[in-house]
Structure 1
Amino acid sequence: MKHARLLAIALLFAVPATAQQAPAADHGSKEDAVAVLATIDTMFKALAAKDPAGIIAVTVPEGRATGTSVTDTGEHRLTSSDWAGFAARLAKVPGKPVERNIDPHVHVDGDIAMVWTPYEFTLDGAFSHCGINHFDLIRVQGVWKVQNVTWTQRRTGCPGR
């Protein structure tokens, strides 16, 4: 019995460290990823319709919308607001805003999700800008909601342009 214990201890230390790590956490299902992207699509439809209530419906009140951009003069700008402030500014957007994600990467673990994706933004069908969107989502009572979105904004180096 003593030898069996010693052998078990020796084998434990002989196993590579990577094999001793805890198993990976659940990274969500394909259904989770589809639901996360559907939430973002719903947000984009509300944006295009300039519908503040639609934005509020898919977001968490405590969350933030934060953007970074570089002006034509090279000045770096940072804007940030809560979702109510973001939604209230929709009426001031000229024309019809349409945002389209390009090749989104979705990561889900339990009730949190993150999406990293290049995007393109148009106004009345004309190119406005592009950048990267980073969405943080949480599942609240079984429904995915956008907690935060952070984005870059530029007019050059855009995918497909």
Structure 2
Amino acid sequence: MKLFSLVLFIMFSSFCVSQNDEQEKAIKTITTFFEGFHNQDSVLIKSVVYKAVVMQSISENTNGNLELTTTNFSDFIKQIVAIPKDHTFSEKLLSYSVQIDGNMANVWTPYQFWYNDKLSHCGVNSFQLLKVNQEWEIFYLVDTRSKCQE
């Protein structure tokens, strides 16, 4: 019985370590994305996205109605690179929640977005990742955007 318990413990421990390693790799993909974002580095951003990435946002329009908008990835890159150097912007991720099943992962990240040192909006990013050649790549990103308190 002790041997059986030991074998189960070893199998469970290796699964947990493997799962934690994959979670850390998924988080690294997100941190690399934001490193590129904050440095306006399109090459770095593109290094962690899948060839057919979809980007959407959920917010309220000026009339208070729900709005789902889709952003073309190439346009997103152009917008980020075009931000004047004398403007500051930062998306501060508050935490990470990672779920993985085989070659798919979800990384949920509540955030605050700061522009020129003022809190612009808050929300949550939901990144969907696909494992390609042992690396996690972002294939879908949806975020929520709302007013928030400092």
- Residues 74-93 of structure 1 aligned to structure 2 (within 5 Å): 74-93=64-83
Give the counterpart letter for 2:142 in structure 1: T
After TM superposition, give the deviation of residue 71 of structure 1 in Å.
3.7
The partner residue of 1:104 within 52, 72, 96 is 96
Structure 2 unaligned residues grouped into runs of 5+: 1-14
RMSD across aligned positions (CA): 2.1
8 Å CA contact 1:49–1:96 kept in 2: the answer is: no
Query: 2:4 is matched with which residue?
Result: none
Per-residue deviation, residues 131-150 of structure 1 (Å, max 9, x unmatched): 01110001110111111110
Give the counterpart letter for 2:74 in structure 1: A
Determine whether 1:44 maps to 2:56: no
Runs of 4+ residues deviating >6 angstroms: none
Normalising by structure 1, report the TM-score: 0.73
Query: 1:137 is matched with which residue?
Result: 129
Structure 1 unaligned residues grouped into runs of 5+: 1-25
Identity score, percent? 26
| C-alpha distance in structure 2 between counterparts of 1:120 and 1:75, whole Å | 22
Per-residue deviation, residues 49-106 of structure 1 (Å, max 9, x unmatched): 1222222111012121111222444243332134223212213446232112222210
Normalising by structure 2, report the TM-score: 0.77
